[in-house]
Structure 1
Amino acid sequence: MEPQSFGTQVKRTTKKIVRIALLAALVVGFVIFSFYYWGTYEDGVMAGKILRVSEKGVLFKTYEGKINLETFGALRGASPIAESFDFSVEKGDQELIKQLQQVALSGERVNLYYIKRYARFPWRGDTPYFAVRVERLHQ
């Protein structure tokens, strides 16, 4: 009988180790995903005029925008197109989307506050840069 009990004990120990390893892998995976999904790598502000704000996508609809940095050739040899900046807007931030659309139509100069995430996810936006606030500059 001892060989059977030894074999049973080995099976139980192996199952326990496999369960612990799977649980640990799941927890580590969740922590890594959370870091990339919610973590902020950079935050900042840029000034310019909003060129466009649009809803894009086939499977995942996201809000995307472009701001003209209006550096007028400050970047040596760069075209005006290269002096623009693409950004995304979180879908749930309807108030910000509305404000961005208003300033895009008015053509006024704004400060665009943004954050940069560690990773880009297709259901969030086309870029890792997300607008978080727009500040109108009165001329």
Structure 2
Amino acid sequence: MAFPGYHLQRKSSFKKIITIIVLILILIIGFWFWWSYLYVFGEGVKSGQLNYIVKKGNLFKTYEGKLIQSGIRSQQPGSIQSYEFEFSVENDSLANVLMSNSGAYYDLHYKEYKNTLPWRGFSRYIVDSIVHMQSATH
């Protein structure tokens, strides 16, 4: 003989367990998303001559640029290659300043993320400010 209300008590305990499991899963997925896409993994300054900056993209139009750093490196014996820093820019006004001074020497502050988001740009490196700019015509 079952106790009255036993069946209802068992159902509500099961609901509580499922609710707790779902909440824990949401928290884990939320933390993973934050860690992978929103957490600033590193930041710093890169210096060099601005090669180009363009606005491109299929669905999300983002600013993408390339900075040519002074110095050379060799990935294979006997070959010489310049350092290139490819980056994205979120801020329209910052991108316009960079575009209007293409070819100038820049010190650019950037933030590095672990992964990219389509609306943030193609690169994991997001330039957020100009530390110093020196005109191309010294």
Q: Report if TM-score (shorter chain) is over 0.5.
A: yes
State yes or no: 1:109 paired with 2:105.
Answer: yes
| Residue number in structure 1 paired with 2:92 | 94
Alignment of 1:57-72 (within 5 A): 57-71=57-71
CA distance in 2, matches of 1:129, 1:69: 15
Q: Which runs of 5+ in 1 are unaligned?
A: none
State yes or no: 1:137 paired with 2:134.
Answer: yes
**Identical aligned residues as a percent:** 29
Q: Which amino acid aligns with 2:98?
A: L
- The number of equivalent residue pairs is 131
Give the TM-score, by structure 1 length. 0.83
Q: Which amino acid aligns with 1:15?
A: K
RMSD of aligned Cα (Å): 1.8
Report the CA distance between 1:4 and its aligned residue.
6.2
Alignment of 1:1-139 (within 5 A): 2=2, 5-71=5-71, 74-76=72-74, 77-80=79-82, 83-90=83-90, 93-104=91-102, 107-134=103-130, 135-137=132-134, 139=138
- Secondary structure at the aligned position of 1:69 is classed as strand
Q: Which runs of 5+ in 2 are unaligned?
A: none
The structure where helix makes up a greater share of residues is 1
The structure where strand makes up a greater share of residues is 2
CA distance in 2, matches of 1:51, 1:96: 16
CA distance in 2, matches of 1:13, 1:6: 11
Give the TM-score, by structure 2 length. 0.84
- Secondary structure at the aligned position of 2:32 is classed as helix
CA distance in 2, matches of 1:64, 1:112: 14
Q: Which amino acid aligns with 1:7?
A: H
Alignment deviations for residues 99-127 of structure 1 (CA, whole Å, 9 cap, x no partner): 111221xx221111111012111221111
Alignment deviations for residues 32-65 of structure 1 (CA, whole Å, 9 cap, x no partner): 2123232111111111111111111112211111
Q: Which amino acid aligns with 1:33?
A: F
CA distance in 2, matches of 1:51, 1:28: 41
Moved over 4 A (4+): none
Q: Cα 1:20–1:69, aligned 2, differ >3 Å: closer, same or farther?
A: same
